[in-house]
Amino acid sequence: MRLENKVAIVTGGGSGIGEAICRSLALEGAHVVVADMNEQAARTVVGKLKSIGDRRHLAVRVDVRSEEQVEGIVKRTVEEFGRIDILCANAGVVTQNWTVDLTVEEWDLNMDVNAKGVFLCNKHVARQMIKQGGGGKIINTASMAGKTGFALEAHYSASKFAVIGFTMALADELAKYKINVNAICPGIVDTPMLKRGIQREAELRSVTPDRIVEKMVAFTPLGRLAKPTDITGLVIFLSSPDSDFMTGQAINVTGGIEKH
């Protein structure tokens, strides 16, 4: 196992891509802190992880927009496990709207969770990694929308562009500590969040949800939506020693949609 006894924090770990990341980390031998706004969802994931080997896992509630709460999960993780080796800053939200109708509240929600949340988690985990020594791995969840803007998601796209720029800058800052900082850029992934987005986009475009799905599949060269498990192989690679000479990258997992 490539991550034997490593300690990982996964934000947004209660469902979707985050849940799949938690499972993959556990299968590779890591102790996983499942952090989510929905504490019950986090507890459910931890319950599932208990069937995988003899690792210890922890469910915690966190709102990544709160610096106090982020500091709290870092402190609790160190109290429980002694260190932090891996951060998957995966918590995110997306809403859809035409920009001319976009509210300040929608803009702030996307920017606060997706961009500020990544900043706060990276900041406090990096402090701990520097303090403990020995390097570390930080993987931020961006999006193909962080490289190309899409109609109805200008605010979401702005937040994910921010994640990529932040990742690149932080990678330079932390390189001297042997802390690798990279971003993953998923494409269209079949998750509960996507299903909500499909419904909203269908309403805004006055078409059926099935029509939106058809367009998404047609837009993807590999001809299908991604599954959360399509993303996790890259996360494990970036968490492992195999990626020791990679930092500051924003890597696509889009089925061929995004090519730069």
Residue 90 in any domain: the answer is yes
> pLDDT digits over 161-184, tens only?
999 999 999 999 999 999 999 999
pLDDT tier at 53, thresholds 50, 70, 90: confident
Residue 13 in any domain: the answer is yes
Per the listing, tokens 């390189």 go with 175
Strands 179-186 and 136-141: parallel
Is pLDDT above 90 for 207? yes
Residue 2 in any domain: the answer is no
Residue 155 in any domain: the answer is yes
CATH of residue 56's domain is: 3.40.50.720
Per the listing, tokens 């300690």 go with 7
> Which are the catalytic amino acids?
156
Residue 83 in any domain: the answer is yes
Is pLDDT above 90 for 224? yes
Residue 70 in any domain: the answer is yes
Number of H helices, E strands in the chain: 9, 7
Q: What is the pTM of this model?
A: 0.97
- What three-state secondary structure class fits 145? helix
**Number of domains forming the structure of the chain:** 1
> pLDDT digits over 78-102, tens only?
999 999 999 999 999 999 999 999 9
Question: What's the rounded Cα separation, in Å, for the pair 249 and 244?
Answer: 12
Pull the structure tokens for residue 81.
């496990």
Share of residues in the chain with pLDDT > 70 (%): 100
In this prediction, residues 194-207 reach a mean pLDDT of: 97
Residue 195 in any domain: the answer is no
Residue 236 in any domain: the answer is yes
Domain range for 89 is 7-188+227-253
Pull the structure tokens for residue 192.
């509960």
